[in-house]
Amino acid sequence: MTTPLNERRIANAIRVLAMDAVQQANSGHPGAPMGMADIADVVWREFLTHNPGNPQWINRDRFVLSNGHGSMLQYALLHLTGYDLSIEDLKQFRQLHSKTPGHPELGYAPGIETTTGPLGQGIANAVGFALAEKTLAAQFNKDDLNVVNHFTYCFLGDGCLMEGVSHEACSLAGTLGLGKLIAYYDDNGISIDGEVEGWFSDDTEQRFNAYGWQVLRVDGHDAQAIRQATLKAQTETTKPTLIICKTIIGLGSPNKQGKEDCHGAPLGGEEIKLTREALGWAEEAFVIPEDIYAAWNAKEKGTQAEATWNELFTQYQAKYPLEAAELLRRTSGDLPDDFAEKAAQFISDTNAKAETIATRKASQNTLQAFGPLLPELLGGSADLAGSNLTLWKGCQGIQDNPAGNYVHYGVREFGMTAIANGVALHGGFIPYVATFLMFMEYARNAVRMSALMKQRVIHVYTHDSIGLGEDGPTHQPIEQIASLRGTPNLNTWRPADTVETAVAWKSALERKEGPSALILSRQNLPFQNRNAEQIANIEKGAYILAEEKGELKAIIIATGSEVDLAMQAYTELDGVRVVSMPSAEVFMQQDAAYRETVLPVNIRARVAVEAAHVDYWWKFVGLDGKVIGMTSYGESAPAKDLFKHFGISKDAVINAVKSLA
């Protein structure tokens, strides 16, 4: 180890803050922050371009702590470099309503770019950041003015590399040549269960070489080696770089460094005393000397960096005013001023056409209409573009054109979704990603993260039921829709025809505070006639599609392909109302008065019909009602045979209503 003592002392500020905060909370992971402190010292003080006074500056470098259990590393860095994160905030580590939760959480502390914790997703988000930077730069930069020009730095650990999502995302990053992605692997050989060589013997260097990355090896406690490796990474413009940093977990702790003892538990009062002595750190807990603060503070440097960029952007605005205004609009997340009007016109035109087509095709038609209006759309599919119908005529693959608007993700559902989260977090794009609904299961945790982080990601899922037919039970989703509907802050739409599909897309695009899932059919679905009021009410999640004839006695609730079954039954029943409910979550967000107009509480005779798991619907029909749907997995057969076999039919709906009303 050749790091000078004064530089090691600067890095030691991270070590003492980490062990003190974890000890005070009696919970946390001190080992990773202590082991990675020397890497963080070099990256944050010498390379990271950021402004603590304006954490949302457009052209800042992005930093991702993928091994998010080491969150005190990031909190210490934010505090030391001058962000609005006080020493008192550090003392509240892992406490209720603090700005310093147990893993980095977007929106809690300034400077946190993404929520990490589920291992592997941070590096996948970082790939998304780098992908967004490269594509946005290609779309906006000019030969004489590069206004989008920043790096993505990511710290990650053994756990991230063991998780399968890292394989998916890093493989694609190499293929796309994301040269401004620089990852630092904390190669400390320790996880919760002990020394990882017993369960993690991959040749990481060869693995990343095979992905098409530049791979460098350094002593993770040698500042000069880290510095030189980072400089080399910055000059490699055609490949992402992995810097494998050999470190000692918990460095500085005389009795626990290099052991799993310091991975996920406080060091203990006596060990902290010994560690302070070993580090030559005389100050009390949570006390940082002023000269150390001065060495870390990045406010002046960050302010100057942003001011320099502002001068560059002023030149850009003068020379390219339209592009400058568009960049600011897109990075603000606002849609074009005329989008709502033009989208409404498309919905009206769609209603006039009255087409009977699959909702996946209706989705493609909607993309064809909305795509030219929204250059911020960045689409993609997990090797199913021809089935998901996510390509529209204006699509250009970024593999062929870096300024394009479509990503061929390959068979990487989890990686795709986590990357899309990173794209959304970066800003400047609205990502949409697609696969079969069944294979949402591969991506499930990343879908959850987009909802948790309130990101505008549009998840397109086609082949939505047993209606896909012959592929059989492995491909026929049963419980997936209920799983999505049960995800907080996710709006799930299952449209019944072309008009509902267009409204679902409009709603998803206009929703800035969270993701949406669009559940689409493989098979053709009949068009449903509506008046203007009914069309307007689609965006409320549920509405009366067919008014009761005579006194209201029963209500049929349906979604997607089963709305037509409900309408067929309606023609043979009196006193029955049909409610189409394309989005139950959106409906439940409406006021009580509207919900009462659609589903009056005094009408207990209710039947729900959906070719999915029945359990979800009891909340709407009550124990007195009936649900027609699936209670088992599917079978392999033509769709019409399957619906008959599983009893999802017009006659079943009629009989259910008659048994109640």
| Residues tagged active-site | 413
Residue 476, CA atoms < 13 Å, CB-side half-sphere: 24
Query: Any known ligand binding at 464?
Result: no
Spell out the SS3 assignment of 452-488: HCCCCCEEEEECCCHHHCCCCCCCCCCCHHHHHHCCC
Structure tokens belonging to residue 615: 């359990």
Q: By three-state DSSP, how is residue 382 classified?
A: coil
Q: According to the annotation, is 302 in a ligand binding site?
A: no
Structure tokens at 350: 């769609």
For residue 459, which phi and psi values (nearest 5 degrees)? -100, 115
Q: How far apart are CA 541 and CA 527, in angstroms?
A: 18
Q: Is 69 annotated as a binding residue?
A: yes
Name the 3-class secondary structure at 65.
Answer: strand
Which of 30, 38, 31, 32 lies closest to 12 in space, CA to CA?
A: 38
Residue 188 assigned as binding residue: yes
Residue 119 annotated in ligand binding = yes
439 assigned to a ligand binding site: yes
Q: Put the strands of the sheet holding 458-462 in their side by side order.
A: 406-408, 377-381, 430-436, 458-462, 516-519, 491-493
Establish whether 70 is an annotated binding residue.
Answer: no
The burial class, CB within 10 Å (0-12 / 13-18 / 19+), for 441 is: middle
Q: Which helix (H) or strand (E) holds 194?
A: strand 194-195
In Å, how far from its chain's centre is CA 96? 24
Distance of CA 52 to the CA centre of its chain: 25
Cβ-based neighbours of 505, under 8 Å, separated by 6 or more? 363, 366, 367, 370, 458, 518
CB 214 within 8 A of CB 240: yes
Q: Specify the amino acid at residue 382.
A: A
Rounded Cα distance between 235 and 74, Å, is 26
263 marked among binding-site residues: yes
Phi, psi of 119 (to 5 degrees): -60, 140
Task: Put residue 541 in one of left, alpha, beta given phi > 0 → left and psi -120 to 50 → alpha.
Answer: left
Residue 583 known to bind ligand: no
The closest alpha carbon to 469, from 518, 418, 521, 424, belongs to 521
The verdict on whether residue 414 carries a ligand-binding annotation is: no
Q: Is 159 within any annotated ligand binding site?
A: yes
* 125 annotated to a ligand binding site: no
DSSP state of 371: G
Q: 281-288: long-range contacts at Cβ-Cβ below 8 A with a sequence spacing of 24 or more? A: 281/9, 281/12, 281/16, 283/16, 285/16, 285/20, 285/23, 285/24, 286/17, 286/20, 286/21, 286/87, 286/90, 286/91, 288/13, 288/16, 288/17, 288/80, 288/87
User: Do the annotations mark residue 463 as ligand-binding?
Assistant: yes
DSSP 308: H
State the Cα–Cα distance between residues 661 and 577, nearest whole angstrom.
12
Q: Beta-strand (E) ranges in 20-151? A: 62-65
Residues 377, 378, 381, 383, Cα dihedral to 10°: 140
Cite the annotated binding site by residue number: 29, 69, 117-119, 158-159, 188, 190, 263, 360, 387, 439, 463, 471, 475, 522
Cite the annotated binding site for thiamine diphosphate by residue number: 69, 117-119, 159, 188, 263, 439
Cite the annotated binding site for Mg(2+) by residue number: 158, 188, 190
Cite the annotated binding site for substrate by residue number: 29, 263, 360, 387, 463, 471, 475, 522
